[in-house]
Structure 1
Amino acid sequence: MKKLFTLTAFLIAFFAASAQSTGAAPEVLKLKESDHNFGDIPQHKPVYYYFEVTNSGNTPLKLDNVQASCGCTTPEWSKDAIAPGASSKIKVGFNAALEGPFTKDITIIYNGNQSNRLTIHGNVWKAPEGAAPANASVQFLKKQSL
């Protein structure tokens, strides 16, 4: 009975120690910043921002997908692996159809199953509806010079 108790205690200690050593993997994708404020931008005029990502791990970092929360936000990134210690950029474009404040999330999926999030925000103001109105004085002067 004493041997069974000792064996059980040993197995419990072994599994507890191994469970602690299999904790979460260290974060290898480091972001210089994860949030960007565009401030006030005109409606229907695309704006862009470059987020810098760095591989702080010991193996190459692969950005599997970068996806935006809506169609008005378009991320672009290199499909090449990022070497340990190296950096790359993710270009995020935004083209607002509606005026007013906005917040958009971009999800980075890397190394198969890990993820991180970027956020852009700002305020869209209504752009003028078209070209400036015609200047009647200019048209009058053109007719006079003929």
Structure 2
Amino acid sequence: MNQRLNLHQKGQNALKTLFATGSYLKKTSLELSLRELVDFRVSQINGCAYCLDMHSKDARAHGETEQRLYGLSAWRETPYYTDRERAALAWAEAVTACHVPDEVYNDAIQQFSEEELIDLTLAVSNINTWNRFNLAFPTTPGGYRVGQFG
């Protein structure tokens, strides 16, 4: 059996760009709780266990509830999320699927400024890229510690 390379040990030069994007996103007006929900939902869609482990721990550490995390895959059917969160989740799902219907855009632009929507799109793109790296070069879930990567 082939052993795949360890992404976090061997890919540091390539990953600097993703870490820099994450640093930029921390400085935007997008709420940390919103970014964590988006990261978690996109990671669910992409089936990235490492990112699900990471973002569930980070979200909980920042006050997210178990109920909202458990209900995230069915967010449309639950009362736990704000209109802004719902617009962000719909946007994240659409961008991840590479098809943004007018209705999703119209809902998003009602909740986010143009700059915020651009930043949200960057956040969705960033977690999609992380998911793809972690799926291509599997990283064992379970060992992440809150704040481990800054």
For the criterion TM > 0.5, the same-fold answer is: no
The two structures have a TM-score, normalised by structure 1, of 0.24
Q: RCO greater where, 1 or 2, for CA within 8 Å and sep 6 or more? A: 2
- Tell me which protein shows more helix as a share of its residues: 2
- Tell me which protein shows more strand as a share of its residues: 1
| The structure with more radius of gyration | 1
